[in-house]
Amino acid sequence: MAVVSAETGRPDLREAKGWRRTKNRVMTALMVASFVIVLIPLGFVLFTVIAKGASVISWQFLTGEPIPPIVLPADVGGMWPAVLGTIEITALATLMAVPLGILGAVYLNEYGGRNWLAALIGFMSDVMTGVPSIVMGLFIFSIWVLHFGFSGLAGAFALACLMLPIVIRSSYEMLRLVPNSLREGSYALGATKSRVTATVVLPAAIGGIVSGALLAVARAAGETAPLLFTILTVTTANPNVFSGANTSLPSQIFANANQPYPGAQDRGWGAALTLIVICFILMIVARFVTARFARYQH
Amino acid sequence: MSTVTQVDPAAPAGSTHPLEQRRPLGDRVFAIVALGSGLLVLVILVLIAVTTSQQAAPWFSSEGWKIFTNNWNPAANQFGALAFIYGTAVTAIIAIVIAVPLSVGIALLLTEVVPYRWSRPIVYVVDLLAVVPSVVWGLWGILVFAPWVQHIYASIASAVTGVPVLGFFFGTPTSGASFFTAGLILAVMISPIVTSLSREVIATVPAIDKEGAYALGATRWEMITGAVWPHSQGGVVGAVLLGLGRAMGETIAAALVIGSSATITSRLFAPGYNMPAVIANQFGEASGTFRAALMGLGVLLFVFTIIINVLARGIVERNARKKRGG
């Protein structure tokens, strides 16, 4: 407490003493401790996945096929069907969700402005980010799989539903950062609104938009629940993403995780390491894009 | 689009007519496509509600209110889902109770304690938790964490047997895959989102309030309780609710570590089941009313999470508006 001391006439600016100081220090230590506590499981998971996965992963593991029955050891066959499936399905989902998400954000920021419809769409898209991924799987199952059967396309639909609100939110935040003077300058030159949006506003925000989209892709690539009832799980590679059952890395990890056979568990760890590497690369590229190309940042 | 009363900056030069009439076709098409993409969000949400409810209808019609009983026996065509609703609530509450203090602690650490150049790396590290896929948490949880934590559960349980309240919650039976293991893993998984939302809220506390508290001689902790907390209470409540919604819907990690036993028990170390996990584990071999029942659990889950998210977003937005002074 800054008490004015009688002798010197100056306020006492020294650190508070006694119980107040102790409490302050304990609380600060607890804040640091909470960070350390969440670091422990992260470090533990990464260590285990790398330690157990690294010995399994080989060229044969990544590119061999088919995926063997669970009782066989991990050096038989390979995970190629799952690697291919993850790439196909995530890429297709990205092709659907990213353009639609960016256009949705363009509507919210450039066209909707402050009207009630834009407010409602913005609010509901935030709410949609909280819809459990398994519900997206059930939704695509009832609307698509029941009529057209299992396929990579169905899985991509489910992942796209998950990605859409994430892309809308991150793109919207980036469009909001583009200064109005840029828009006004282009209008003054006689450009139409679509032209201004496509050639001035979007290029100005593209760094942040791409980075947000990559983070959405990383999230979708690791999702299992929406794929369980939309692509099924097969053991041979299916290059045709539009028809026939498929498989993916997360589905394979899920299928192998609960098995007592060492071979199955090894395959699970190898697939987990592959998946984590894919997700981390996407995230690192996103950070790089933000740092290098984003003109406007928070 | 309504008629334009002011001069629209996007209207071609020299235009005296309302915008609509002079706008080139491509421009109008673009506006409509953008509007359509925005509306897609609403369309998808409505379609989710309609199609999943349709698929679930046989469950509601054949069981009636019995869906809320504790009687899940697919072989005997009995589909009372109370155990799963109970398990969802229990695991989500455990997750929240553990994750919230940690997340708010990290958020305060980031905003009030460490200098800016340190806060970035900390944010990256916390975000890494969210990048690790759910199924990898599940794999680690069931193969590494559950066997390890089993012994700790067992010794806690034997220590508290007979103790009134503790024995009720932490007594035997114990299992590595249990409500508590699921709650712990969910806590780790939701802490990045609770941290980042709390951090956003806490960062909006005006510097003048904080400086005022310091000028009165407050310690940092007194400044936090006196200036930061009253200002960010509402927003943190919103962040907690969003975390709760995430914890309820998180599927694959829970499906692997919850123990898969449809029981209602107060014992947190006992194996249990929750709604997303039972859907993930049993939907594959289900048909008829069984499938409808699992679909119905999905509908309930959708309704619960939508309610929680609408509440949470409402609180967060109202809080943000209040800050802007609107």
CB contact under 8 A, A132 and B250: yes
Closest residue in B to A262 (Cα) is B143
Cβ contacts of A108 on chain B, cutoff 8 Å: 38
Confirm whether B170 is domain-assigned. yes
> In chain B, which residues have their Cβ closer than 8 Å to the Cβ of A21?
219
CA B72-B88-B128 angle, 5° bins = 135
Does the pLDDT value for residue A13 go beyond 70? no
- Across the range B105-112, mean pLDDT stands at 93
A61-293 maps to CATH 1.10.3720.10: yes
> Quick check: A43 pLDDT over 90?
yes
Residues of B in contact with A200 (CB under 8 A): none
Confidence check: pLDDT of A234 > 80:
yes
Residue B272: the pLDDT is: 92
Beta strand pairing call for B72-73 and B78-79: antiparallel
Average pLDDT over residues B105-134: 90
**Domain-located, residue B49:** no
> Nearest CA to A248 among A141, A154, A181?
A154
Task: From residue A146, give the alpha-carbon distance in Å to each of A151, A248, B16, B47, B52.
Answer: 11, 21, 54, 15, 12
pLDDT in tens, A176-227: 999 999 999 999 998 989 999 999 999 999 988 998 999 999 999 999 999 9
Interface contact A24-B248, CB threshold 8 A = no
Mean pLDDT (chain B) is: 88
Question: CA B110 to CA A31: how far, in whole Å?
Answer: 9
Q: Do B135 and A135 touch (CB under 8 A)?
A: no
Q: How confident is the model at residue B284 (pLDDT cuts 50, 70, 90)?
A: confident
Q: Name the more confident of B77 and B102.
A: B102
CA separation (Å) from B268 to B58, B150, B156? 33, 12, 12
**Residue showing tokens 């046989």:** B58
Q: Tell me the chain A residues in contact with residue B45 when contact means C-beta distances shorter than 8 Å.
A: 124, 127-128, 131
- CA A32 to mean position of chain CA atoms: 27
Grade residue B67 by pLDDT with cuts at 50, 70 and 90. Answer: confident
Q: B41, A104: Cβ pair inside 8 Å?
A: yes
Contacts of B113 in chain A (CB under 8 A): 28, 31-32
- A49, B250: Cβ pair inside 8 Å? no
Which amino acid is it at B169? F
CB contact under 8 A, A223 and B249: no
Give the mean model confidence (pLDDT) for residues A258-274: 91
Dihedral sign of CA atoms B269, B273, B275, B279 in order: positive
pLDDT category at A1 given cuts 50, 70, 90 is very low
Chain A to chain B, count of Cβ pairs less than 8 Å apart? 280
Mean pLDDT of B111-125: 89
- Contacting residues for A191 by C-beta, under 8 A, at least 6 apart: A199, A200
Instruction: Return the pLDDT at B66.
Output: 84
B32 touches chain A (CB under 8 A): no
Residue A297: its pLDDT value, please?
A: 66
Q: How confident is the model at residue B17 (pLDDT cuts 50, 70, 90)?
A: low
Residue range A156-178: mean pLDDT, rounded: 94
Measure the CA–CA gap between A294 and A210, rounded to whole angstroms.
Answer: 9
Integer Cα distance of A233 and A81 in angstroms: 10
Q: Name the residue ranges covered by the structural domains of chain A.
A: 61-293
Long-range contacts of A111-116 (CB under 8 A, 24+ apart): A111/A193, A111/B31, A111/B34, A111/B35, A112/B38
Mean predicted confidence (pLDDT) in B110-119:
89
Picking from A35, A45, A107, the nearest residue to B38 by CB comes out as A107
Helix H, strand E, coil C: the string for chain A is: CCCECCCCCCECCCCCCHHHHHHHHHHHHHHHHHHHHHHHHHHHHHHHHHHHHHCCCCHHHHHCCCCCCCCCCCCCCCCHHHHHHHHHHHHHHHHHHHHHHHHHHHHHHHHHCCCHHHHHHHHHHHHHCCCCHHHHHHHHHHHHHHHHCCEHHHHHHHHHHHHHHHHHHHHHHHHHHCCHHHHHHHHHCCCCHHHHHHHHHHHHHHHHHHHHHHHHHHHHHCCCHHHHCCCCCCCCCCCCCCCECCCCHHHHHHHHHCCCCHHHHHHHHHHHHHHHHHHHHHHHHHHHHHHHHCCCCC
Kindly state whether residue B9 falls inside one of the protein's structural domains: no
Q: Residue B38 corresponds to which amino acid? A: G
- pLDDT for B326: 44
B33, B52, B309 ranked by CB distance to A142: nearest: B52
Please judge whether A130 and B249 are an interchain contact, meaning their C-beta atoms are less than 8 angstroms apart. yes
Which chain B residue has the Cα nearest residue A118?
A: B38
A138 and B224 within 8 Å at the Cβ level: the answer is: no
Task: Check: CB of residue A106 under 8 Å from CB of residue B300.
Answer: no
Amino acid type, A131: V
Total of domains in chain B: 1
Contact B137, B192 (CB under 8 A): no
Q: Which residues of B touch A258 (CB under 8 A)?
A: 142, 256
Residue B272, domain CATH: 1.10.3720.10
Contacts of B55 in chain A (CB under 8 A): 138, 142, 146
Closest CA to B179 of B277, B308, B69: B277
Q: Give the structural domain span for B281.
A: 61-324
The answer, for A82 touching chain B at a CB cutoff of 8 Å, is no
pLDDT tier at B40, thresholds 50, 70, 90:
very high
The chain A residue lying nearest B294, using CA atoms, is A138
Residue % of chain A over a pLDDT of 70: 94
Q: Provide the pLDDT confidence category of residue A270 given band limits of 50, 70 and 90.
A: very high
Of the candidate ranges A138-147, B1-10, B18-27, B202-211, the one whose mean pLDDT is the lowest: B1-10
Please tell me the distance from the alpha carbon of residue A109 to that of residue A99, in angstroms, as a whole number: 15
Lookup: tokens for A272: 């987990």
Distance to chain B for A174, nearest Cα, Å: 16
Determine contact, residues A183/A201, Cβ cutoff 8 Å: yes
Contact yes or no for A34 and B140 at CB 8 A: no
Residue B294 falls inside a structural domain: yes
Complex-level ipTM: 0.90
Residues from chain A contacting residue B125 (CB–CB below 8 Å): 39, 42
Q: Which residues of A262-278 are buried (b: 16+ CB within 10 A; e: fewer)?
A: ebbbbbbbbbbbbbbeb
Nearest to B51 among A124, A139, A257 (CB): A139
From chain A, the residues in CB contact with B276 under 8 A are 132, 134, 225
Question: Which residues of chain B have a CB within 8 Å of the CB of A195?
Answer: 27
| pLDDT tens figures, A54-82 | 998 988 888 888 888 888 887 788 899 99
- Measured distance CA(A2)–CA(A20) in Å, rounded: 13
Show which of residues 193-222 on chain B sit within 8 Å of chain A, judged by CB atoms.
216-217, 219-222
What mean pLDDT is reported for chain A? 89
Closest CA relative to residue B44, chosen from A100, A115, A250: A100
More confident residue, A293 or A238: A238
What residues pair up with A151 in beta bridges, in sequence order? A244
Cβ within 8 Å, pair A225-B251: yes
List the single residue in A135, A168, A184 with the smallest CB-CB distance to B298: A135
**Paired tokens of B180:** 């508590």
pLDDT on residue A12: 66
Q: Residue B2 — pLDDT band, cuts 50, 70, 90?
A: very low
Cα distance between residue A272 and residue B140, in whole Å: 10
User: What is the distance in angstroms between the Cα of A276 and the nearest Cα belonging to chain B?
Assistant: 6
pTM (predicted TM-score) = 0.90
Specify whether the CB–CB gap between A65 and A82 falls below 8 A: no
Confirm whether B18 is domain-assigned: no
Q: Is residue B101 in some structural domain?
A: yes
- Chain A touched by B138 (CB under 8 Å): yes
How many angstroms separate the CA atoms of B125 and A76, rounded? 36
What residues of B are in contact with residue A117 (Cβ under 8 Å)?
Answer: 38
With bands split at pLDDT 50, 70 and 90, how would you rate the model's confidence at B1? Answer: very low
For residue B323, pLDDT over 50 is answered with yes
**Angle of helix B229-249 relative to helix B275-282, nearest 10 degrees?**
20
Residue identified by tokens 């673009």 is: B30
- The pLDDT value given to residue B163: 82
Contact B297, B283 (CB under 8 A): no
Contact B41 A121 (CB under 8 A): yes
Alpha carbon distance B227, B211 (integer Å)? 9
Judged by CB atoms closer than 8 Å, whether chains meet at B302 and A135 is answered as: yes
Comparing CA positions, the residue from B53, B83, B56 lying closest to residue B70 is B83
Considering only CB atoms, B143 lies closest to which of A38, A120, A257, namely: A257
Least confident of B130-144, B220-234, B248-262, B311-325: B311-325
Query: In this complex, do B249 and A135 lie within 8 Å of one another by their Cβ atoms?
Result: yes
Convert chain B into a string of H (helix), E (strand) and C (coil). CCCCCCCCCCCCCCCCCCHHHHCCHHHHHHHHHHHHHHHHHHHHHHHHHHHHHHHHHHHHHHHHHHHHCCCEEHHHCEECCHHHHHHHHHHHHHHHHHHHHHHHHHHHHHHHHCCHHHHHHHHHHHHHHHHCCHHHHHHHHHHHHHHHHHHHHHHHHHHHCCCHHHHHHHCCCCCCCCHHHHHHHHHHHHHHHHHHHHHHHHHCCCHHHHHHHHHCCCCHHHHHHHHHHHHHHHHHHHHHHHHHHHHHHCCHHHHHHCCCCCCCCCCCCCCCCCHHHHHHHHHHHCCHHHHHHHHHHHHHHHHHHHHHHHHHHHHHHHHHHHHHCC
- Report pLDDT for B165: 81
